[in-house]
Amino acid sequence: MSDDTGPGVLTIGDGEFLRDGRPHRIVSGALHYFRVHEEQWADRIARLVALGVNTLDTYVAWNAHERTEGDVDFTGRSDLGRFLDLAADAGLDIVVRPGPYICAEWNNGGLPAWLTHRVQQPRSTEAAYLEATERWFDRLLPIVAERQATRGGRVVAVQVENEYGSYGDEAAFLRWNVDALRSRGIDTLLFTADGPTDLMLDGGTIDGVMAAATLGSRAAEAERLLRARRAGEPFFVAEFWCGWFDHRGERHHRRTPDSAAAELDAILERGSVSMYMAHGGTNFGLDAGANFDVVVQPTVTSYDYDAPIGEDGTTGEKFAAMREVILRHRGIEAPPLPPAPRFVAPQRVALRRLGGLDRLHRSAVVDDVRPRSFESLGLDAGLVRYTATTVLPEGATPLVIEGLRDRATVRIDGAMIETVERGDGAPVELTVHGEGRAVTLELLVRHLGRINYGGRLGESKGVGIVCVERRRVLGWRHEVVRLDTLEHDEAEVPPSDGAPGADGTPGAFEATVELDERADAWLGVEGAVEAFVWVNGFALGRLWAEGPQVTLYVPAPVLRPGANTVRVLDLEGAPVAVTLGPDADLGEVDFYGVEDVG
C-alpha cells in the first residue's frame, strides 16, 4: 500500500485506487464542519486521526453559507477553508462532497430555502436552479480547488451531486455538474455515490465518473453489483452507516459495536470506505432536517448517530472495536488518543418567566390578503403568527386549514383551541364554536425541519388556505420570528416582564447558571413540551416531550466561568428548571440489526 503521510494524487488503476501510482485503500471518516463548534474542530479531527483513518470526508452545506441570497459567509462555523487546512495539518487526505444537494438529515438537504421556493424542479437542468448553483460554485470551488492534491494540498477526491439515483434520472444534470466542477478548477478524482441497486445506479451514475456505494450492510452483494456494472473501478463505500439518526417520538437508534466492526471488516476486505458518521456532531439551532412518511418526521437536534466518536467527543466500545479493524487492515500502530473531554459538575437551576408568546420579537410584520409562505416572508426557519378577523357562525362549525406544512397552534380571541400538525396532505379540519360575531383567529405556525430526502424536497412552509366551512378567510397579518438567527442577535429574546417563576402558560423563561470552569455539558429542561434553547445567545436546538432526546449538548466554547444565561422558549409548556451535567440522555435505545440499514 501507498505511503499516505504526505500529499499524493489519487487515481484509478485496474480495479483499485492508486496514490501517486501505488495501490491505496481509502479509510475515511465523515466529520461535518457545520455540525461542530469551530473551536472544537481540531479536537474532533485529532480524535478522527486516533481512530486510525487516513482520510476525512465532509459535505458542504450550501444553506449554512448563504441563508439569505447573495449574503455568502465563510467565517466562524462556516469557515470551510480553515477546516480543510486543519485536516491537512493533521496529515489526513480529504474528500469533499459539495452537493449542492447533500441530504445528510440537514435542513432542506443543504439547499437554500430561497432557491427551492423559486424553482419548479430542484436537482434538474431547470435554468433558475443551474444559474444559482453556478453563482454558488463560483464562490465555493476556489476554496476547494486550491487545496487539491494536484496543487500540493490534501483534497484527493470530490463527489458529484449526492445519491441522485434515489431522486431522478436526468443524465444531462449529472453531466452539467461534472462540467461545472471541471470548469472551476476541480481536476482531482470525481465520483458519484448511490445505493447499490440497479434502480439507483441507473439514475445516479454516468460514464467517465467512478461510481461509489452508500450502505449499512451486505457489502459483498454491493461489491458484486458494482464490479459487474463498473468494470475496472475500485469498490468504494462512500457512506458506511455505522449508526443512524433519530426522529422525534422514536427511540434512540444504536448499532452494536460488534455489528458495526464486522461490516467494516467486510468492506475493507473488499475495498475502501468512509464511515458515516465517524463523528456526528449536532444540528444546532433549527438546522435539523425532516423526512415524510404519511406524517412529518422531524430529525432531533442531536446528530450523535451512534458514531464511534460521540457527539461530545467521548469514545467507547464502538470506537475501540472499529479502531481495531482499521489498524489491522492498515497495518499501523494506534495513534494517540487526545485526553477525554471535561464536563461541568451536575446542577439544577430554577427558571423564571420572562414573558408570554406575545412578547416574541418580530423581525417583520407583513399584511396581505391571503396567508403567505415562510419563504415569501424571507423566513428560512422559525415561527410565523398568522392573524385575521373573521365572523364565526353561531354554534359549531368546521375550521379548515389547507397546506399546513408543519405544526400550528390555533387560538380564537386569545383562547387556545388546539395544536394541529400536517398529515398525508389532506386539509386539517377542527371544530370551533362561534357566537355569530367577529373574532380574531390566530395560527402560530412553526418550522419542524425542511424535508431533506425524496420527492417532497423543497416544499414551502406555512399555510395555504384557511376556511370557515367553505368560506375563505382573507386579510392576514404575518408576524415573523427568526429563531434561527437568535445566536447573532440577542434582541430576538423577549424582554423580561419581571414576573417571577412560571405561571403555567407557554412563553419564554430564563435561568442564570454559575460555573467554575469552561467545560462541556449536557443540558436538560424539566417540564419542556416543545422547547427551543439558547445558552449565552448561542442557539442549541430544541426538545420535545415525546423525545427521544432529553438533553442537549453544550460545547465548552459556548460556556464561560461565572454567570451563564440559559433561555428557553416553550410553545406549549411551562418548564420549571434547567439541569447541566456530564451525562447525555438521548432517549430509550433501539438496537437495530443489519437488515434495517440496507
Please count the other Cβ atoms lying within 10 Å of the Cβ belonging to residue 512. 11
99 vs 109, 372, 414, 563, CA distance in Å?
9, 29, 45, 41
Question: Which of 163, 233, 263, 487 does the annotation list as catalytic?
Answer: 163
- The Cα 206–Cα 554 span in angstroms is 43
**Concatenated DSSP letters of 9-61:** -EEE-SSSEEETTEEE--EEEEE-GGGS-GGGHHHHHHHHHHHT-SEEEEE--
Q: Residue-wise over 449-479: b if at least 16 C-beta within 10 A, else e?
A: bbbbbeeebbbbbbbeebbbeeeebeebebb
Q: CA-based diameter of the chain, in Å? A: 83
- The Cα 37–Cα 31 span in angstroms is 12
CB 386 within 8 A of CB 445: yes
Question: Whose CA is closest to 102, among 131, 133, 127?
Answer: 133
- The Cα 17–Cα 26 span in angstroms is 8
Residue 530 in 3-state DSSP? strand
- The Cα 362–Cα 574 span in angstroms is 22
- Residue 465 phi, psi (nearest 5): -130, 135
- The Cα 310–Cα 43 span in angstroms is 12
Q: Residue-wise over 218-238: b if at least 16 C-beta within 10 A, else e?
A: bbeebbebbbeebeebbbbbb
43 vs 83, 531, 564, CA distance in Å?
12, 30, 24
Question: Whose CA is closest to 58, among 77, 71, 72, 39?
Answer: 77
Question: Whose CA is closest to 160, among 96, 236, 203?
Answer: 96
Residue 75 in 3-state DSSP? coil
306 vs 55, 317, 584, CA distance in Å?
20, 11, 12
- Provide the grid cell at 345: 459538575
- The Cα 417–Cα 410 span in angstroms is 5
Tell me, yes or no, if 492 is annotated catalytic.
no
- Provide the grid cell at 423: 398529515
Please count the other Cβ atoms lying within 10 Å of the Cβ belonging to residue 131. 11
249 vs 316, 385, 415, 444, 467, CA distance in Å?
26, 25, 27, 22, 31
Residue 325 in 3-state DSSP? helix
3-state DSSP helix/strand/coil percent for the chain, to nearest 5?
Answer: 25, 35, 40
Q: What torsion do the CA atoms of 106, 110, 113, 114 make, to the nearest 10 degrees?
A: 160
Tell me, yes or no, if 394 is annotated catalytic.
no
Question: Which of 161, 223, 239, 572 does the annotation list as catalytic?
Answer: 239
Q: What is the DSSP letter of 277?
A: E
Active site members: 163, 239
